[in-house]
Structure 1
Amino acid sequence: MLQSPALRAYDRATPLHLLLGSDTHGVTRYAGEVAGAAGAPVARRAQELVAGTRVHLHVTDRLLARDPAEAASAVERLARRVALTLTLHDVPQPTDGPVFHARAAAYSRMVRASRAWVTNSWHEHSLVGRWCTDDPRGSVIPLPVFRTLLRDPDTVERNAVPVLGVFGFVYPGKGHRQVVRAASALRRAGRLAQVRVLGRAAPGHDDEVDVLLRTSRARGVPVDVVGRVPEGDVAGALRGVTVPVVAHRNVSASGSLNSWIAAGRRPLVRDGAYAREMAVLRPGTMTLFDDGSLVPALEAALQDPATTWTSPGTDLGPGLDDTAAAYHAWWSTVDG
C-alpha cells in the first residue's frame, strides 16, 4: 500500500527503541509499553543497532551499570553511533546520599550526549536543570495511567480491621515507617488499624523489611508484608485495602501513585512539588497531606471510606495513547 509523503515522514520520525535489562525492571517495562503504543521497532542489544539510526532510550544509571560514570560512558558510546534521544528516569537529587554528585555528573554527561531528552514531570525537569545541566533541549511527557476496569467500591470486600496500604518497593524514605507510626497513633486513640505492604524489598535494602517489622511489633501495629504482587493481581490488591497511602519523601515520578489511580483509588499522598504537579494534572485523584496531618487525614478517610475512591467520570488522563502521541509530536521536532 502506498503511503503519503506526510505519513512516510511521520514514520521516519519514530525512532527505534532500545530496551535494556529485564522486563521485570519498571523502566524497561515502561519503555516497551511506550514502544508498543508508538508503533516503534525494538532492539534488545546495542550491538544490533545500525550506525546513524534514530534511537530512543529510557535510561536510569542503575539499569546500565553500578557505577554512574560507567553508565554515562555507555550512553556516550551509543550516542556516537546513533541519533540518540533519551527519557530520563530516577533523576538525581541530594537525598540520594553519598552517590548524589556522581549521579548528577553522569546525568549531565548523558544529557549532553543526546540529541534531545525528556523527563516524566516538570519537577524532574527542574532537578536536571538545578543539579545536572542547564540544557534547553529538555521537554516533559508525563507518565500515563494504565486504566483498569473499575469496580463499584460497595462491591469490594470490607476488612474486619481497617487496612492502610502502601504499594511498591520497600526502601528508606518510601514512607512505610511513617504509616506504621500513624497506625500506632490511631490505635492509641482507640481506632484499630493495620498496615499492608504490597511489595518487596528494593535491591540492596533487604534489611529494611526486617527493620520495619521490628518497629511495627514494638509499636503494637500488625504489619503484613505481601511481597511482590503479580501484574495480573495488582488492581485487586490495590482495591482490597481500606486507605491507600503514598508517603514517599523523595519522589520525583511515581508509577505506584499511577497504579493506585488506575485501580480507581484516591490515595492520601504526601505533599511535595511532584504531588502538587500531579494533583493539577489529574484533579480529584488524590488527597494531599503533610507530615503533621497524616493522622487526621487517615481518621477522615476511615470515617468516610468513599473519599478513598475516585468519583465516576473522573478524568484519569493522560493515558498510554496520549503519551505515545506526545512522544510522536516531540520526536518530530528533533533533528535527525
Structure 2
Amino acid sequence: MTISARRTTAVVPHHLLLGPDTHGVTRYAGEVAGAAGALVVRDARLLPEGAPAHLHVTDRLVSPDPTAAAELVETLARRVRLTVTLHDVPQPTDGPRFRERTAAYGRIVRASTAWATNSWHEHALVNRWCVADADGTVIPLPIQGASPEAGRRDVDAHVLGVFGFIYPGKGHRQVARAAAALRRSGHPVTVRVLGGAARHHEDEIDELQRSSHARGVPVEVTGRVPEAEVRDALRRVGVPVAAHRNVSASGSVNSWIAAGRRPLVRDSAYAREMAALRPGTLTLFDDSTLVPRLEDALRQPASTWIEPGTDLGPRLEDTAAAYRSWWASVAG
C-alpha cells in the first residue's frame, strides 16, 4: 500500500446511521459506508470524542421538527469532526415548512467541517436558499446492480409503472390523467404503483384510486416492494415513468436504470444533469409532452430499455472512491 493510499484509508470517518434501513437515505448511507470501509455507528453517543464522522442527513430522519434537527446536528458537530451529505435539499415547493427547512440546512452546513450533495442542482439550491456562496462538493448517486444486457421477458405491455413512495407531487395523478387520455385514444393502459404511501400521506392512495376510477383508469397499488423483488417488478411494466415535480435527487430513477429501463422523467434541472451524466438512460418530458411520449413508448417498447453497453457510471465503488478522496482533502 502506498503512502497516499494509507493516508486516504486513515481519514475514512465513522458513519453515523440514523433511522430504519428501509429508509432510502439510511440504506444508501450504509452502502457507502460498506464500500468505503467505514465503521458504522447507530448511536451518536458511541462516536469517539474528536473523531472524524460522516452523516447522510435529511432533517426528517433526525427530527420531525427542522429546527430541532439542526440543533441536534450542531450538538454532534461540537463533539466530532463532522462531514455531511445533504439529502432532500429544501425547495420552495416544500410548502409551509420551507423557511424552517432552509434555516435548518443552513445551520447544518455552517456546523459541519465540509458538506456534499448528490448533484449540482442540489448544490445550487443550498447556495440559493440555505447558505449563500457556501462551497460544497458533489458526489452523484451511483447506479448499483445494473444489467441492461439481461433478457426482456414477461412484460405487461400496457402497464404504466410509477415506483416509490406515494405523496403529493410524486406524479401519480398526472400519470393517471395521461392514462385516461391514452385510453380515450384507444390504448388500453393501466397504472401500476410500485410502492406504498409515505408516512402521513396514507390518504393519497384513496384519493388516487377515487380520481382514477372517475376517469375510467384502473390503478393497482402494490404496497412496498421487497428489496429482492424490486428489479423484476421494474422490468415487468410496459412503460416506466418518473413524474415527480419536487426532485432534488432521485433514488427511484436510479432504480429504474439499474433494472435496465430507460424511464420517462419529468424535465427539470436535476433530470437534465442526470441525462448528461448518463447519456441514453432517460427520456425527458414536460406537461405538454407526457401523453405523446407515452404513445411513442407504447409503439416502440425498445425505447424503454437501455441499450447494452451504455455507460451507467458512477457505480458504488466509484462513489466510495470519490468520498475517500474528498475526506482526505478535508481531513486537515
User: What secondary structure is seen at the aligned counterpart in 2 of 1:203?
Assistant: coil
Listed as ranges, the gaps of 5+ residues in structure 1 are none
Question: Is 1:17 aligned to 2:15, yes or no?
Answer: yes
User: What secondary structure is seen at the aligned counterpart in 2 of 1:333?
Assistant: helix
Question: Is 1:293 aligned to 2:289, yes or no?
Answer: yes
Aligned equivalent of 1:218, options 211, 214, 220 = 214
Question: Is 1:157 aligned to 2:121, yes or no?
Answer: no
Aligned equivalent of 1:131, options 114, 129, 133 = 129
- Deviation of 1:152 after TM superposition, in Å, equals 4.2
Aligned residue type for 1:262: A
Question: Is 1:334 aligned to 2:326, yes or no?
Answer: no
C-alpha contact (below 8 Å) 1:52/1:81 kept by paired residues:
yes
TM-score, normalized by length of structure 1? 0.97
**Counterpart position of 2:99:** 101
C-alpha contact (below 8 Å) 1:148/1:235 kept by paired residues:
no
User: What secondary structure is seen at the aligned counterpart in 2 of 1:84?
Assistant: strand
> Matches of residues 115-264 of structure 1 in structure 2 within 5 Å?
115-150=113-148, 152-153=150-151, 155-159=152-156, 162-264=158-260
User: What secondary structure is seen at the aligned counterpart in 1 of 2:123?
Assistant: helix
**Counterpart position of 1:279:** 275
**Counterpart position of 1:69:** 67
**Counterpart position of 1:305:** 301
C-alpha contact (below 8 Å) 2:148/2:305 kept by paired residues:
no
Q: How many residues align?
A: 332
- Deviation of 1:136 after TM superposition, in Å, equals 3.4
**Counterpart position of 2:51:** 53
- Compared CA separation, residues 22 and 158, structure 1 to 2 (3 A): closer
User: What secondary structure is seen at the aligned counterpart in 2 of 1:238?
Assistant: helix
C-alpha contact (below 8 Å) 2:181/2:291 kept by paired residues:
yes
User: What secondary structure is seen at the aligned counterpart in 2 of 1:302?
Assistant: helix
Aligned residue type for 1:119: T
Listed as ranges, the gaps of 5+ residues in structure 2 are none
Which shifted more, 128-137 or 30-39? Answer: 128-137
- Deviation of 1:20 after TM superposition, in Å, equals 1.2
TM-score, normalized by length of structure 2? 0.98
Aligned residue type for 2:302: A
Question: Is 1:84 aligned to 2:82, yes or no?
Answer: yes
- Deviation of 1:21 after TM superposition, in Å, equals 1.3
Cα RMSD over matched residues? Answer: 1.2
User: What secondary structure is seen at the aligned counterpart in 2 of 1:98?
Assistant: coil
- Deviation of 1:149 after TM superposition, in Å, equals 3.8
Aligned residue type for 1:258: N
Aligned residue type for 2:82: L
Give identity over the alignment, percent.
67
Distance, in Å, in 1 between the alignment partners of 2:155 and 2:51 is 54
User: What secondary structure is seen at the aligned counterpart in 2 of 1:214?
Assistant: helix
C-alpha contact (below 8 Å) 1:170/1:176 kept by paired residues:
yes
- Deviation of 1:103 after TM superposition, in Å, equals 0.3
**Counterpart position of 1:322:** 318
C-alpha contact (below 8 Å) 2:149/2:309 kept by paired residues:
no
